[in-house]
Amino acid sequence: MSVHKTAHDILQDPDFKKLSGQKDTISIVLTIMELLLYFGFIALIAFNKPYLAQKLSEGGATTIGIPIAIGTIIVSWILTGIYVRWANKKYDTLVKRVRNKIGG
């Protein structure tokens, strides 16, 4: 039989603190990485268009900017995948543990 706890008890619970801290850490790290990636690409567009306009091969139509843009999108998907994998393996487990403790 589980015992319902007050909000103060929940906030002081070590598992809740661990859950909150880990979520904050991964959210901040991945957000900073995504912002650096995105704004880095935008800065490259704004300040070095000639570099992005260079052709990958002589006579070719593809410029250096195309694979960089595609890479930006792919890395964004990877960062999302990292968060989803973490959430499925770690976050959900901690949420269940905290819920069991608080009677939720």
Residues of the chain under the 50 pLDDT cut: 1-2
Per-residue model confidence (pLDDT) at position 47: 96
Per-residue model confidence (pLDDT) at position 9: 74
Q: What does each C-alpha distance from 95 to 9, 12, 23, 38, 75 come to in angstroms?
A: 16, 15, 11, 31, 28
Tokens of 24: 């904050």
Q: What does each C-alpha distance from 101 to 23, 26, 29, 50, 92 come to in angstroms?
A: 19, 24, 29, 59, 14
CB 103 within 8 A of CB 4: yes
Beta bridge partners of 63: 55
Per-residue model confidence (pLDDT) at position 4: 62
**HSE value, Cβ hemisphere, 13 Å, CA-based, for 7:** 0
Q: How far apart are CA 85 and CA 97, in angstroms?
A: 18
Collapsing DSSP to helix, strand or coil, 63 comes out as strand
CB 22 within 8 A of CB 90: yes
